[in-house]
Amino acid sequence: MTGQRSVFIYLIPPNEKEMSTYRRIVAIQHEVLDQRTNRINSEKFLWYNLRVIKLLENYRKTKYERLQERLEYR
For 9-73, the DSSP string reads: --PPPSSGGG--HHHHHHHHHTTSB-TTT--B-HHHHHHHHHHHHHHHHHHHIIIIIHHHHHHHH
The per-residue pLDDT string of the chain (74 residues; one tens digit each, 9 = 90 and over) reads: 455 666 667 788 888 888 889 889 999 999 999 999 999 999 999 999 999 999 888 888 888 777 667 677 66
pLDDT at 6: 64
User: Is residue 5 in a domain?
Assistant: no
User: Is residue 9 in a domain?
Assistant: no
H/E stretch holding 49: helix 42-60
pLDDT at 8: 67
User: Is residue 22 in a domain?
Assistant: yes
pLDDT at 3: 54
User: Is residue 7 in a domain?
Assistant: no
pLDDT at 61: 84
pLDDT at 33: 94
Q: How many domains does the chain have?
A: 1
